[in-house]
Structure 1
Amino acid sequence: MSATRYGDYAKDVSGWFLGMTGAQLAPVSVAGVPALIAFNAQAWAALLLCLLVWTLLVAALLVPISGRSAGRWVADLWLFSLGRALGWTVFGSRAAAGTAEDLSEADLPGVLAGVRTHDGPPFGQTFTRPVIVQNCAARTWAAVARIAHPGIGLAEPGERDRMGAGLAELCEIAARTELVDVVALQVRTVPDDGAERAAWERSHARRDAPAVASQVNALLGATLTPAAVRSEAFVTVVVGERRIARAAKESGGGIDGRARVLHGVMAEIEGALRGAVGCTAVSWLDSAGLAAAVRTGFAPGDRGQLIAADLTSGGVDGRAPATGVPMGAAGPTQALAEVRHYVHDAWASVTDTILLPDSGAVLGALAPVLVPATPGERRSVTVFLAPLPLDRATRLVGREDMSATTGNELRARMGFRQRARQRRDTERIGTADEKLAAGRALVRPAVAACVTVPATWPIAEHGRRLDAAVRAAGFVPLRLDLAQDSGFAAAAIPLGIGLPDRRGRR
């Protein structure tokens, strides 16, 4: 497999017995005991009833419906209804209510409510102070960087292979640190508000310019600016408290100690990004930069005002305007989580998870998902890469090997022919075992895509267009029903939140 094609992946959770996990196998086995008792007693009517109940239970536990089993759908719907009845799906900011005491403290909805930000110690040769993001609920620490990359659309095949190998090297470096939980790569295509162009025109306009030239320039700006888009990319490095606690204690403890340990990880990640990955710029965000990134995530239309204020920060008539936005006002003033979409201020969003195809994915295949369907639409895609420690990866591959071997032997004894997909899975497990033995990393990936439009637009139609774009790229979309607020936070807000933990291992 080339560096630009990714296909060595499997299910996130693979059962150790015929594809069933222990939580699934136990109730299925227990529910089958009454049927065996009825069969032994030759009570045929009771046997038929027990088999019917057992079949319904198996279907509810094992048959997926839009990514979840029937039992999981019932539980999630009940929890969503409970949250709506208690008012948990509605958010109102403290700044809008006039009750905010400290505007430097983050005030965000939903799964972002546990986020706190801290100014870390100086970092790098320029002695900047990147903000340290603390997630009290997930017990993690993170740092966010804005990156610039030339893209791979016009890259030569050799350069594209080098970039793909550089991304794999980035994951291996993150795994070798034994500190990184998740590396999140986020790309947002936002409508061009024309703020930079307007500032350039003001500084380069000539009073003696021909009237026709000025008229043509104004016409081009009015026609092309609404259809133009601007891309911005972020990298978020997330470190778990369990992994960083001992190293932070050796570095002085407290927030500064954790920031110093995180600075070492940031330097390694930055080296990989500037190296083989091919990034031309990597700048770790301070408090003002992160607040602007979060605010433009919730309200894309506010970017023009923020950029215009920054460009005119020199002041007019000796008076400097107020620039930026405090972290306490970076979130929405109001938000409402619906079943199939999420409403935040004057905007509405639909989020899909993207399922990887069985045939593999080519590097850059997600590019069509980022193309807006209509002017004024914002698209966001976040790729989560969670490198697994070597011992845990070895156990996972060993469990998959045992499950595949058991299934193949049972099918052979029952006289069933081995299918192509089963042969491919067996080969994939063997390949993964060889790569682990060679020192490669096992990574747990996840992808979330989001479309954001004004709340007055038909959000259901734009959600269908997002689904169509995902299918056109060769992937399978899966709408995050009943969890649109969490999906939006994962896909559009660069805070590293979105990939669920597995059994509290952070």
Structure 2
Amino acid sequence: MTVSAGPVRYGSWSKDKPGWFGGLSARAWIGVALSGLPMVLAAGANRWLLALAWAPAWAVLVVLLAVPVRGRSAFRWALDLLLRGIGGALGWTDWQSRAAAGTTGDLDDADLPGVLSGIQTHDGPPFGPLLARPVVVADHRERTWAVVARITHPGIGMSESTARTRMGIGLAELLEGAATTELVSVVALQVRTLPDDGAERAAWQQTHLRPEAPRLARAVTAELAAVMTHAGVRHEAFVTLVVPERRIHRQAKEAGGGVDGRARVLYGVMGEIEARLVGPVGCTSVTWLDSPGLASAIRTGFAPGDRAGLATAELAARTDSGIAAVLPMAAAGPTAAPPPERRHYVHDAWHSATCTVLLPDKGAVMGALAPVLTPTAAGERRCATVFFEPISSTRADRMVGNESMSSELATELRRRGGFRERAAHRRDAARVEGQDVRLAQGNALVRVSVAVSVTVPSTWSITDYGRRLEASVTGSGFKPLRLDLAQDSAFAAACIPLGIGLPRRRGAQ
């Protein structure tokens, strides 16, 4: 019998965009300087009354530019409100599917709202020993290509500490492999906890039910099935690989060009990722989705209650070839999506509230987000998506070098100014030094973001369940941040397994 060393705490993460100086970016400092320029010019011309009159206005502008309010500056809030108002006035936020309007042309064309409107799907060439045809997702807005896999994992709830550590190391190796290939820009892991509809259980009971069974036994079986279905939950997990066009176009040209050439390059990446998922990560199965499978995953993301009908039709089609069980991509999205509200998103007969999860400075153990995926009421759906963006070694070395230089400069300024070095300063310096050491050892630098969402029927109070979601995040040791004014994009990131979530930054490779 071995004594467990205890759970491993993961941390040592830093801000995605650290302040250029004093916690502010270069743009903020430029705005502060330009807003104070009239006061300086007035003082230089000995117009002191004008300089004193402009001083309160300059102070207000500094507050608007420098003081963050729920993750954004007041100036950015005003700009977002203005853009949202313009979009609503021009009708850009209203959306209705072509299927609901009766104008559907090609059933294979995806018809999705908001940030998903640029999605187009293609059936790739045969892949694997079963000659399956995984769907290749093209995002024309972001100029990316993606593939989606449904995975099955036994979970870590009953695993020992050593097994959890081994799975964590396996995930780190997977991300390092993705960074080494320099093709994959985002690896998105999505987990859904949805109400159990009992479709498979009902089909099995209907097939194996004996007509000569006692009436009381059949009544008890039906009552137990109803109770189990009402109280049960089901878990779904997806992995999405996103590759930018600028990284794949050369290799795709050598592989034949077009969609098939890009698919062949993606198949090589899929084989490497699948081997690591089944091996060190501990997945029991990895299934790359074809077009009907992806359409079903998207549809159940928008409408969790439709899964029962889709599963029943699929099971019935196995015995009756006349039943149409394939869902076309044109019907995968919602029928209508009204303009998104400020703090939630309405889609068909459901509405969702989404927030991001801010990582704590003290770190977290594996499985700390489990309470976030636990529904608080029957009929509630929880989703969580973790986006991993492997950063190339050249860019990572430059980022860590700049952060190390800033840390040393700040330490030297505090020393010369006679200020006492606090524990937080020593912790930040040790974190930067640790990142530099791990990067020199060959480890990869990964950008991480987490989006979580709760979905309930439209007759329920989304305000109440949004608070419950935030309480679950807080109880897990993290800090929630509701994505106000962007709930439609946040829902797509948290609930739809297409790899859309991390914003694209200028100059990112």
- Comparing 26-35 and 37-46, the one that deviates more: 37-46
Contact 1:16 1:399 in 2 (8 A): no
Specify the SS of the correspondent of 1:219.
helix
Q: Distance in 1 between matches of 2:265 and 2:478?
A: 38
Contact 2:42 2:48 in 1 (8 A): yes
Q: Which amino acid aligns with 1:146?
A: R
Deviation track 1:222-244 (CA, whole Å, cap 9, x = no partner) reads 22211211000000000001111
Structure 2 residue 426 is matched with structure 1 residue 420: no
Which residue is 2:332 aligned to?
Answer: 330
Q: Distance in 2 between matches of 1:221 and 1:339?
A: 40
Q: CA 1:50–1:402 in structure 2 vs 1: closer, same or farther (change >3 Å)?
A: farther
Structure 2 residue 267 is matched with structure 1 residue 263: yes
Structure 1 residues not aligned, in runs of 5+ = none
Deviation track 1:129-180 (CA, whole Å, cap 9, x = no partner) reads 1000000000000000000001011001111110010111111011001000
TM-score normalised by structure 2 residue count: 0.96
Q: Distance in 1 between matches of 2:60 and 2:439?
A: 40
User: Given the alignment, which residue of 183, 187, 190 partners 2:187?
Assistant: 183
1:437 Cα deviation (Å)? 0.7
Which residue is 1:27 aligned to?
Answer: 31
Q: Distance in 2 between matches of 1:263 and 1:459?
A: 41
User: Given the alignment, which residue of 242, 245, 248 partners 1:244?
Assistant: 248
Structure 2 residues not aligned, in runs of 5+ = none
Q: Distance in 1 between matches of 2:414 and 2:380?
A: 50
Deviation track 1:62-102 (CA, whole Å, cap 9, x = no partner) reads 21101111011001111111111111222100011011110
- Comparing 61-70 and 439-448, the one that deviates more: 61-70
1:24 Cα deviation (Å)? 1.6
Q: Which amino acid aligns with 1:419?
A: R
Q: Which amino acid aligns with 1:31?
A: S
Structure 2 residue 146 is matched with structure 1 residue 142: yes
1:211 Cα deviation (Å)? 2.3
**What aligned pairs does 1:381-400 form with structure 2 within 5 A after superposition?**
381-400=384-403
Contact 1:107 1:328 in 2 (8 A): yes
Structure 2 residue 90 is matched with structure 1 residue 118: no
Q: Distance in 2 between matches of 1:504 and 1:370?
A: 35
Specify the SS of the correspondent of 1:385.
strand
1:363 Cα deviation (Å)? 0.9
1:340 Cα deviation (Å)? 1.1
1:34 Cα deviation (Å)? 4.1
Deviation track 1:421-440 (CA, whole Å, cap 9, x = no partner) reads 22211111111011111100
- Comparing 477-486 and 403-412, the one that deviates more: 403-412
Q: CA 1:107–1:481 in structure 2 vs 1: closer, same or farther (change >3 Å)?
A: same
Specify the SS of the correspondent of 2:131.
coil
Which residue is 1:54 aligned to?
Answer: 58
CA RMSD, Structure 1 to Structure 2 (Å): 1.7
Structure 2 residue 201 is matched with structure 1 residue 194: no
1:3 Cα deviation (Å)? 8.6
Which residue is 1:449 aligned to?
Answer: 452
Contact 2:195 2:234 in 1 (8 A): yes
Specify the SS of the correspondent of 2:261.
helix
Q: Distance in 1 between matches of 2:472 and 2:365?
A: 16
User: Given the alignment, which residue of 303, 307, 315 partners 2:307?
Assistant: 303
Q: Distance in 1 between matches of 2:502 and 2:318?
A: 42
- Comparing 57-66 and 91-100, the one that deviates more: 57-66
Q: Distance in 1 between matches of 2:19 and 2:405?
A: 10
Q: Which amino acid aligns with 1:389?
A: S
TM-score normalised by structure 1 residue count: 0.96
Q: Distance in 1 between matches of 2:61 and 2:430?
A: 33
Contact 1:17 1:406 in 2 (8 A): no
User: Given the alignment, which residue of 160, 166, 171 partners 1:162?
Assistant: 166
Q: Distance in 2 between matches of 1:407 and 1:32?
A: 25
Q: Distance in 2 between matches of 1:288 and 1:500?
A: 28
Which residue is 2:349 aligned to?
Answer: 346
Q: Distance in 2 between matches of 1:502 and 1:288?
A: 32
Specify the SS of the correspondent of 1:32.
helix
Deviation track 1:295-352 (CA, whole Å, cap 9, x = no partner) reads 1000100000010111111345xx6211021000000000121111111111111111
Contact 1:335 1:345 in 2 (8 A): yes
Specify the SS of the correspondent of 2:280.
coil
Percent identity between matched residues is 60
Which residue is 2:433 aligned to?
Answer: 430
Which residue is 1:14 aligned to?
Answer: 18
Q: Distance in 1 between matches of 2:210 and 2:360?
A: 55
Q: CA 1:99–1:254 in structure 2 vs 1: closer, same or farther (change >3 Å)?
A: same
Q: CA 1:324–1:4 in structure 2 vs 1: closer, same or farther (change >3 Å)?
A: farther
1:44 Cα deviation (Å)? 5.2
Which residue is 2:224 aligned to?
Answer: 220
**What aligned pairs does 1:67-86 form with structure 2 within 5 A after superposition?**
67-86=71-90
